Chains A and B, each alone.
Chain A
Amino acid sequence: MADTRVTVEDLKRILLDAAGADEGIDLSGDINDTPFDQLGYDSLALLETSSRIQREYGVELDDDAFLAARTPEALIEAVNERLAAHA
C-alpha cells in the first residue's frame, strides 16, 4: 500500500457514489480546478466523501483540513499527503 495514491478518477467515482451529481454538471471533463460549490457539492457532500475515502483507503482525515480544500486538486493533494505520511 506504500504507493497508494488517490487520483482524480478515484475522487470522481467516490463523489458520485457519496453525493451523486447535480443536473447540468459533467464530472467527466477536467474538474481539477473547479471549486466544489460550482460542482454542486456542499460541506455535507464533502463530509460524506471524506468518510468514504477514509473507509476505502484506511486513512484518517481531519475534517477541518478536508473542508479547507476548495477544489478536487487541493483535496487530492491533502489526501495523498496523509497517505504518504501513513506509508
Chain B
Amino acid sequence: MSTVVTGMAVAAPNGLGTEDFWTATLAGRTGLGRITRFVPDSYPARLAGEIKGFEPGQHLPGRMLTQTDHVTRLNLVLSDWAFADAGVKPDDHSDFDKGVVTASSAGGYEFGERELRNMWSKGGQYVSAYQSFAWFYAVNSGQLSIRHNLCGPSGVVVSDHAGGLDALAQARRQVRRGTPLMLSGAVDSSLCSWGWVAHLAGGRISTSTDPVRAYRPFDASAGGHVPGEGGAILVLEEERAARERGARIHGEFAGYGTSFDPRPGGGRPPALRRAVESALTDAGVAPAEVDVVFADAAAVADLDAVEASALRDVFGPGGVPVTAPKTMTGRLGSGTGALDVAAALLSIRDAVIPPTTNVTPDPAYGLDLVVGEPRRAPVRTALVVARGHGGFNSAVVVRAA
C-alpha cells in the first residue's frame, strides 16, 4: 500500500503560497532580513525569516482570531489551501476517515508572551481564558481537527527541527492502518522576543547582521543559522483511493528513517547515516537512484561535517546533488522538514533542483552542492534530511508517483 501526497500548501519567508515560494526560491530570492516583530537592537542576533503579507483577518473569522496565536492562524489558512489543492471537500470523507498529525517546536509563543506579560504587569485576572490552549504544542492539530472535522487519529510530534518529517511519517502510519486521508506537515513560528530568547539559548544562531552572509551551511565561514517561520501542510492519502477519485498526485511518500544520536562524548558515531539508510531501505531505493538530497544544513561546522560525512558514506564523495534552499528562508523549526518535502515534490514536478544561496562550498565536505543557480535535471526520487537539537535525525524519501 502506497501513501501519496495529493495536496500541499506552503508559507515561507520568501513566498506566501506554494507558487510564490517556488518562484522566489528558483530565482534565489531571500526572505531573510532584520526582525520587525519586536525591536531586536538589544539582542546578539537580529536577523530572521519573517513571512510577509499574511492577513489572517482575510481568511479566518473573528471567533478564531481571538483564540489563536499567529502560528495557529498560519496552520489554519494553509490547511484550507492544502485541501483546495488536493481537490478534497470537507464532506468527501466521513469524519472518522480523516485525521491530522502536525509537528511543533514551540507552540503559540507570541500569544503566550502577551498573556504572561498581562499576568505580571496587571494580574492573573487579565490572562486570556484562551491561554489555556493557545500556547500549547498540540494546539495546531486541535484547531485543524475542529475546523475540518478531522475525527480520525490525531496528534502532535515534538522533535525540534526533525518534527516536520516525523509528523508526516506518523501520518503515513495512520494511512497504512486504514485512515484514508491524513492532514499533516508542520508550520512553526516563534519570532517574538520571548521566542527569540529561546532560539538564542540553543546556541546555534548566526549573529551576522548581513542577510547575505548570515546563513551559509557547508561554507568554511559558516556561523550558525537564521531562524525563520513557516512550513508546509500536506494532504496524504492511500494511493488507490486517491487514484479512484481522480486526484492529481504530487508524489509518493516512499520512505522514512529516524535515529537518535548517542550521548555526546561517549565515543559512538553519530546516527544520522542510519536514518538516511533506513529511509532508503524503507523506500526500496538504492543510493544511485536518488536524484537530489535536501540537506539539514545546520551551518555549524561540526554538524555540517557530520551531515557531509553521512552523505559521503551513503552516496560516495560528490555522488548526489545536494541543496539547501533554506538559506533563503532560514530554518523554520519543525516547519523546515515539511517545507523541504514540498520543495522536493516541486523539484520532481518541474525537473529542477533549487539552489543553495550565498554559499561557497568548502571542498573538504566533498559534496556536490547546487549553488547559485537552479540546476535543470530530471528528478524522480528525492531525499530530505532534518535534524533536531538534542540528537533527533530523520530522513524522508519522496518519489514521482
Contacts and interface: CB of A to CB of B under 8 A. Distances in A.
* B partners with A: yes
A74 to B, nearest CB: 20
Interface in A21-73: 21-23, 25, 40, 44-45, 47-48, 51, 54-55
Given A19-B67, A54-B125, A44 B62 contact: no
B64 interface: yes
Nearest to A23: B61
Interface string B378-390: 0000000000000
A63 B129 CA distance: 12
A44 B129 contact: yes
Contacts of A22: 61-63
Contacts, number: 38
Contacts of B63: 19-23, 25, 40, 45
Interface residues of B, number: 13
A48 B128 contact: yes
Interface string A1-34: 0000000000000001011111101000000000
A21 B62 contact: yes
A21 B132 contact: no
B61 A55 contact: no
B129 A48 contact: yes
Interface string B114-138: 0000000000011011101000000
- Interface size, A (range): 10 to 19
Interface in B56-72: 61-67
B64 A47 contact: no
Interface of B: 61-67, 125-126, 128-130, 132
Given A48-B129, A54-B125, 15 more contacts: A16-B62, A19-B66, A19-B67, A20-B64, A20-B65, A20-B66, A21-B61, A22-B61, A23-B61, A44-B67, A44-B132, A48-B66, A51-B125, A51-B129, A55-B125
